[in-house]
Amino acid sequence: MRGRFFVLAAPLLVAAVPGLVRPPQPAEASHAWDSYHWSIQGTPLKLSVGDNVANAWDGYLNEAVGDWNNTGIVQLTKVAGRTTARQCRPTSGRVEVCNAAYGVNGWLGIGCDSLL
């Protein structure tokens, strides 16, 4: 009986003590892209997006592509990736999307200037 009480009481304790559980925080990044940009002639900017993600990440990639396409500024087309998730090498003229365990490094992503 004592174990059941703890299982039922623990969620109430967490809910009752403000600050015990931090709510999710927005992601922040500090970076400078200098003068790097895609050279475009009007909109939308059409880009291929290489899928180098594991099956568990496909839904997130599909959602991101759909969200960007809804802006009317870019038109992304998901295509087969040309690299591996672990290496995540850039491919000229397109975006390669990868996922792998890259270690604790604080990265939110990798930006490559060799795409330009």
Q: Does 26 fall in a domain? A: no
Domain residues for 58?
A: 41-104
Q: Does 50 fall in a domain? A: yes
Statement: the pTM of the whole predicted model exceeds 0.75: no
Q: Does 8 fall in a domain? A: no
Q: Does 66 fall in a domain? A: yes
Tally of domains in the chain: 1
Per-residue pLDDT tens for 96-110?
999 888 777 776 666
Per-residue pLDDT tens for 9-35?
444 444 444 444 555 556 566 666 666
Q: b/e per residue, 27-57, with b = 16+ CB within 10 A? A: eeeeeeeeeeeeeeeeeeeebbbbbbbeeee
